[in-house]
Amino acid sequence: MPKGQSHHTADQKAFLDLLKETRAKAKLTRGGLATLAGVPQPYVSQVESGKIRLDTLQLRDWLYACGSNLGRFGRALEKRLHCSQPLSEGSNDRERISWDGCGR
């Protein structure tokens, strides 16, 4: 990983990307999501830019407004994070490849 960029930062980017994709898949603008979720539009923008973090219940409301849920989002996020991990030597890689569908 490049100097100055932590694993946490890469995971947070994956989270935010999936959050935006979930909204886009629901064909919602930031304003439309804000209306459905009962929050101001600037709040949606700040969350999607990483300036504000969501707690679990806020995430749940956000996802429901997008027609999704925590389970679906969590599975997609876990797969994305898991597949982004570099392969290393050892038997765990074979187990990971066999069950997660990373396609490596």
The predicted model scores a pTM of 0.76
Question: pLDDT per residue over 26-49, tens digit each?
Answer: 999 999 999 999 999 999 999 999
The architecture (CATH level 2) of 21-82 comes to Orthogonal Bundle (1.10)
Query: If you write DSSP's letter for every residue of 42-87 in order, what string do you get?
Result: HHHHHHHTTSS---HHHHHHHHHHTT--HHHHHHHHHHHHHHHSPP
pLDDT digits (tens, 9 = 90+) for 44-92: 999 999 999 999 999 999 999 999 999 999 999 999 998 877 655 554 5
